[in-house]
Amino acid sequence: MKATIDIKRNGLSLSGQPLILTTSSQSNNPLACCLPISTNTSSFNESIPNNTFLPFSNIIWVEETSSGKPNEVEITYVYPIFNEFSTKKETVLPYNEARRNIYTASQILTVEFENTTNEYNNINISDLLMNYAYIHSQYYLNNKRQQSIFVLINPNSGKGLANKIFNEQVKPILLSAHCNIHIQMTEYKGHAIDLARTININDYDTILCASGDGIPYEVINGFYQRDDKAEAFSKINIVQTPGGSGNAMSLSCLGATSASLAALRILKGKPSQCDLMAVSKDSSDEVILSFLSQTYGAIAQADIGTEWMRSIGGIRFDLGVAYEVFSGHKYPCDLAVKWKCKNKEDVVNHFERETKESNKNNVLKCNKNNYKDTIIKSSSIENNENFNNLIELSEKNLQLKYQTNFKQSKDFSTLPEDWDIYDKGKTNNMRIFYAGKMPYIAATTNFFPAALPSDGTIDLVVFDARGSFISTANALLSLEKGTHVWEDCVDHGKVEAFRLIPKADKETFISVDGEWFPYEAFQVEVLSKILRTILWEGDYTETGFSAQR
């Protein structure tokens, strides 16, 4: 088969024998890369509409063949298909796409340059195609090698299928892309903290958590306990392929609920630095890091309070929330905040301003239609990390601004001057307090539709128990679309920090990133751009927020 580099269309124009493809039996086989190539074209994916074009985005490995011919390469590429179950019609949300499964196949091609690519005559064809294939992640361009990945599998995640999912869906893609992988099963609660605290950070580029959100939470906190924490956070990507019951990180950062799609996007996406949240406790000097959320009230009750019903699956959470709302429970507290956006209108303005700014700086988005310029630009930058605007962190980036103040007094007598006490009418009648940093907290829950990866703010969503039953029910029924934030009974703002003192008549649940947290006063502040992770297309997954106004 012959191929010509088509820079304008970002791919290879093909001629000769058809490229792939999949029969229905192959499409269910994650090892399709090992099967003989068929000329059956029945289920080729939508991003390769015919057999005359292979986008760079589908290529995951290119190498010279043993023939010694300079233009002959063996190319490994992916072809996504949809799961059988994805018949649901969606509006703005990317759930259908998020469920795609990815398979790999290989083929030998003879590639010819077009005139437009003459300036690359000194680069061999396989290197050039690898640069195009990894235009955004830049590992290959930078290091002439693929990533070294430390894989943590929690055999206990979700329904206990994380190991199977990793082996069937993730591993074949990582291996086809020639990644070096080191696999470790977690053996007890907290094991990932111990591992992240002690690994040699020079050995790996990425820690991949094949799990629910509990393992990335532990890895982040393991890093935080290191003496060289700034270096660890600067150097290593922390990513997730779905394996648990809560896979918020994978959906929010990679737009993937399918583990194979997440794996592909980890390879192809943009290394980015996202904000984290530092949670200070009342009862000790311990500070923990949170990447996802803190919640008090009905949601915490419905989540942690129904752990004993784990065997019935995700429905336990929906039942828990419904019970909370019907029973009219309130969860009073005192709350003080350092505002960034005080109301819904401020949030919209902030969101639009920040999104515009990040699109301007996002190399992938700007150059989506111009790979050549991107290659030239990136080749001219010596330290390639700068290509993605990554910053080298120091201890200073991890210092807390408001902790001393909290330690002096847990009540509001020592609040910094620019903090405000939250409307007492609302905090005395709190139904749900939810603060978060990533938009999707579960597969169908777009709880923080205006969350942004590195805007230095924490999104705050508060449900007032005095709201009408209809408004509350409407809000809860629109969590999937993220339109709950527009209901009257819901406050939506953004803060840089907050302090919450729970005041329920009996001890209730507080949860941080879905994990149990002691019932006591706590203070949270944003830590800007600490979490190095991969964002697909350099941004969080689309939530539809800007279109909802």
Is 275 marked active-site? no
Q: How far is the CB of 158 from ligand ATP (least distance, A)?
A: 4
Residue spans of alpha helices (H) in 362-387: 363-367, 371-379
Q: Which residue of 158, 297, 320, 538 would you call a contact of ligand ATP, by CB under 6 A?
A: 158
* Residue whose CB is less far from ligand ATP, 159 or 330: 159
- At residue 96, the 3 state secondary structure works out as helix
With binding defined as CB under 6 A, does residue 154 bind ligand ATP?
yes
Q: Which amino acid is at 28?
A: N
Strands (DSSP E) found in 370-521: 420-421, 430-436, 458-464, 490-502, 510-512, 515-517
**Residues ≥6 apart with Cβ < 8 Å to 476:** 321, 325, 484
Of 504-533, binders to ligand ATP (CB under 6 A) are 514
CA 44 to chain centre: 27
Question: Which helix H or strand E contains 182, and what residues bound it?
Answer: strand 180-185
Alpha-carbon gap, residue 536 to 497, rounded angstroms: 28
From 15-23, 154-162, 501-509, 523-531, give the range in contact with ligand ATP by CB under 6 A: 154-162
Q: How far is the CB of 522 from ligand ATP (least distance, A)?
A: 19
From 102-110, 148-156, 376-384, 444-452, give the range in contact with ligand ATP by CB under 6 A: 148-156
CB-based closest residue to ligand ATP: 212
* Residue whose CB is less far from ligand ATP, 303 or 334: 303
* Residue whose CB is less far from ligand ATP, 422 or 440: 440
Alpha-carbon gap, residue 462 to 430, rounded angstroms: 7
Q: How far is the CB of 219 from ligand ATP (least distance, A)?
A: 11
Q: Which residue of 57, 101, 157, 257 would you call a contact of ligand ATP, by CB under 6 A?
A: 157
Choosing from 194, 203, 205, 213, the catalytic residue is 213
The residue written with tokens 């309070």 in the block is 305
The residue written with tokens 């209730």 in the block is 508
Q: State the number of binding residues for ligand ATP (CB under 6 A).
A: 21
Alpha-carbon gap, residue 63 to 66, rounded angstroms: 10
Alpha-carbon gap, residue 183 to 194, rounded angstroms: 15
Dihedral sign (CA 248, 253, 257, 259): negative
DSSP 200: -
Q: How far is the CB of 159 from ligand ATP (least distance, A)?
A: 8
The residue written with tokens 């009342």 in the block is 282
Strands (DSSP E) found in 186-236: 206-211
* Residue whose CB is less far from ligand ATP, 29 or 184: 184
Q: How far is the CB of 387 from ligand ATP (least distance, A)?
A: 33
From 135-143, 150-158, 293-301, 532-540, give the range in contact with ligand ATP by CB under 6 A: 150-158
* Residue whose CB is less far from ligand ATP, 20 or 512: 512
Q: How far is the CB of 214 from ligand ATP (least distance, A)?
A: 3
* Residue whose CB is less far from ligand ATP, 310 or 407: 310
Alpha-carbon gap, residue 485 to 56, rounded angstroms: 39
Distances (CA, A) of 156 to 160, 177, 183, 215, 442: 5, 28, 16, 11, 18
Q: Does residue 344 contact residue 486 with C-beta atoms inside 8 Å?
A: yes
Q: Does residue 62 contact residue 130 with C-beta atoms inside 8 Å?
A: yes
Burial of 17 (0-12, 13-18, 19+ CB in 10 A): exposed
The residue written with tokens 């301003």 in the block is 353
- Binding pattern to ligand ATP, positions 230-269, x when CB under 6 A? --------------xxx-----------------------
* Residue whose CB is less far from ligand ATP, 163 or 384: 163
Q: Does residue 419 contact residue 278 with C-beta atoms inside 8 Å?
A: no
* Residue whose CB is less far from ligand ATP, 55 or 155: 155
Q: How far is the CB of 217 from ligand ATP (least distance, A)?
A: 7
Q: Which amino acid is at 182?
A: H
Q: How far is the CB of 209 from ligand ATP (least distance, A)?
A: 7
Q: How far is the CB of 165 from ligand ATP (least distance, A)?
A: 12
Q: Does residue 262 contact residue 168 with C-beta atoms inside 8 Å?
A: no
With binding defined as CB under 6 A, does residue 164 bind ligand ATP?
no
Residues paired with residue 57 on neighbouring β-strands, in sequence order:
none
Of 165-224, binders to ligand ATP (CB under 6 A) are 186-191, 211-215, 218
Q: Which residue of 18, 155, 314, 456 would you call a contact of ligand ATP, by CB under 6 A?
A: 155
**Residues ≥6 apart with Cβ < 8 Å to 228:** 201
User: 537: closest CA among 20, 94, 234, 220?
Assistant: 94
* Residue whose CB is less far from ligand ATP, 188 or 308: 188
In the complex, the residues that contact ligand ATP under the rule CB under 6 A are: 154-158, 186-191, 211-215, 218, 244-246, 514
Active site residues: 213
